[in-house]
Amino acid sequence: QAKYLAQIILVGAQVVGRAFMRALRQELAASRAAADARGHSERPQSAAASRITGISLQEAQQILNVSSLNPEEIQKNYDHLFKVNDKAVGGSFYLQSKVVRAKERLDEELRIQAKDEKEKGWKAET
């Protein structure tokens, strides 16, 4: 009887293991597809900035609740969210750091856009 119990446990473990590996492969494939789609939709400099900062442009915009890259709106929302999440007033250091990273990412995107426009201006003059 112990032999049958051991076989049942072994077969059950194999089934669960196979299902886990299949789910893991599917998740990796979906992750690669999402990364490829995100990489193709962003400009090379913007994609590099996302990799460096660890936060995508879309995520940064969601965190700071901005729909466009308007420096005044970004700064206003950043100031508000930074104050609200200050530990001294019962906020969360983690959320405050996410707000800071989002601001850094949006500032970097603004810098990239300004550089691109400047380069277009140089090309138009020549």
DSSP string computed for 29-52: HHHHHHHHHHHHHS-HHHHHHHHH
Of 118 and 74, which is predicted with more confidence?
74
* Segments making up each domain of the chain, as ranges: 1-40, 41-125
Q: What is the pLDDT of residue 116?
A: 83
Question: Among all chains, which residue has been given the structure tokens 């669960």?
Answer: 16
What is d(CA 58, CA 20) in angstroms, rounded to the nearest whole number? 31
Residues 74-90, mean pLDDT to the nearest whole number? 94
| CATH, range 41-125 | 1.10.287.110
- Integer CA distances (angstroms), 103 to 27, 34, 80, in order: 30, 24, 12
pTM of the model: 0.59
Place 121 in a pLDDT band, splitting at 50, 70 and 90: confident
